[in-house]
């Protein structure tokens, strides 16, 4: 009987706390999501729409991460390998850290190269809810027009990420 109860508790716990893959793979950001404010590495506040507008014409890998996120840190070597394999892709990092100080220290500590923005711990903001954010790291690939080409990946070495980049590169 104890064994059955233990298995039941384990199942309920895994089910309750596991990430849920979105049922709809969006190809565009909701307008409200693009109006959320981020802080640039220079300390300026801009909308996400303004931040992303700098990358029109480019393939973008978007990484939502935080220094407190163990899975984010574990994925760093695979992310760096992806970056080395795709030097023509723009890597944009949206930090979900609790403080700007932690964000800046994390960029330096983990030697993360790319474009950096601080969102704060804003899971329930318009951007987070607009992209069905339920887990980090979260990787998205944007096409040259800023449309979402790969909506949901949680590992940098997910083959779908590289396949999407290759497909966009060959357009």
Please give the average per-residue pLDDT across 117-123, as a whole number.
89
Domains annotated on the chain, with CATH: 31-170 (3.40.30.10)
**What is the percent of the chain with per-residue pLDDT over 70, rounded to a whole number?**
85
Which of 95, 129, 91 shows the shortest CA–CA distance to 113? 91
Q: Does 22 have pLDDT greater than 90?
A: no
- Give the model confidence (pLDDT) of 142-153 as tens digits: 999 999 999 999
Q: Does 16 have pLDDT greater than 50?
A: no
Residue 72: strand, helix, or coil: helix
Residues 161, 78 contacting (CB under 8 angstroms):
no
Binned at pLDDT 50, 70 and 90, residue 27 comes out as confident
Q: Does 10 have pLDDT greater than 50?
A: no
Average pLDDT of the chain to the nearest whole number: 89
- Give the model confidence (pLDDT) of 101-114 as tens digits: 999 999 999 999 99
- Give the model confidence (pLDDT) of 41-98 as tens digits: 999 999 999 999 999 999 999 999 999 999 999 999 999 999 999 999 999 999 999 9
Confidence (pLDDT) at 122: 82
CB-facing half-sphere around the CA of 59: CA atoms within 13 A: 19
């Amino acid at each position: 009987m104890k064994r059955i109860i233990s298995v039941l508790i384990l199942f309920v716990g895994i089910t309750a706390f596991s990430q849920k893959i979105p049922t709809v793979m969006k190809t565009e950001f909701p307008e409200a999501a693009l109006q959320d404010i981020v802080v640039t590495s220079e300390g300026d506040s801009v909308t996400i729409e303004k931040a992303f507008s700098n990358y029109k014409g480019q393939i973008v890998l978007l990484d939502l991460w935080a220094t407190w996120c163990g899975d984010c840190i574990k994925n760093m070597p695979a992310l760096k390998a992806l970056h080395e394999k795709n030097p023509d892709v723009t890597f944009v990092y949206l930090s979900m850290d609790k403080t700007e100080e932690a964000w800046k220290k994390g960029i330096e500590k983990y030697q993360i190269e790319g474009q950096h923005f601080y969102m704060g711990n804003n899971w329930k903001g318009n951007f987070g809810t607009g992209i069905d954010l339920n887990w980090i790291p979260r990787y998205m690939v944007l096409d040259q027009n800023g449309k979402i080409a790969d909506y949901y990946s949680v590992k940098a070495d997910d083959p779908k990420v590289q396949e999407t980049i290759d497909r966009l590169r060959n357009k």
